[in-house]
Amino acid sequence: MIFKSAKINAFRTWGLLLTMLGMGLMVLGTAGIVFWGHAGKVFAAVGLVIGLIAMMASLAIYFWAGMLSTSAVQVDCPECGKLTKMLGKTDRCMFCHTILTLDPNQANTTSSQLKAHSTPPSPSDTDHGMSSNS
Binding site for Zn ion (CB under 5 A): 77, 79-80, 93, 95-96
Smallest gap, in angstroms, from Cβ of residue 109 to Zn ion?
14
Smallest gap, in angstroms, from Cβ of residue 33 to Zn ion?
49
CB 109 within 8 A of CB 120: yes
CA distances for 34 relative to 28, 37, 51, angstroms: 10, 6, 18
Smaller CB separation from Zn ion, 26 or 85? 85
CB 47 within 8 A of CB 26: yes
Smaller CB separation from Zn ion, 68 or 79? 79
Smaller CB separation from Zn ion, 118 or 134? 118
What distance in Å separates the CA atoms of residue 15 and residue 86, rounded to the nearest whole number? 19
Smallest gap, in angstroms, from Cβ of residue 129 to Zn ion?
19
Helix (H, G, I), strand (E, B) or coil at 74: strand
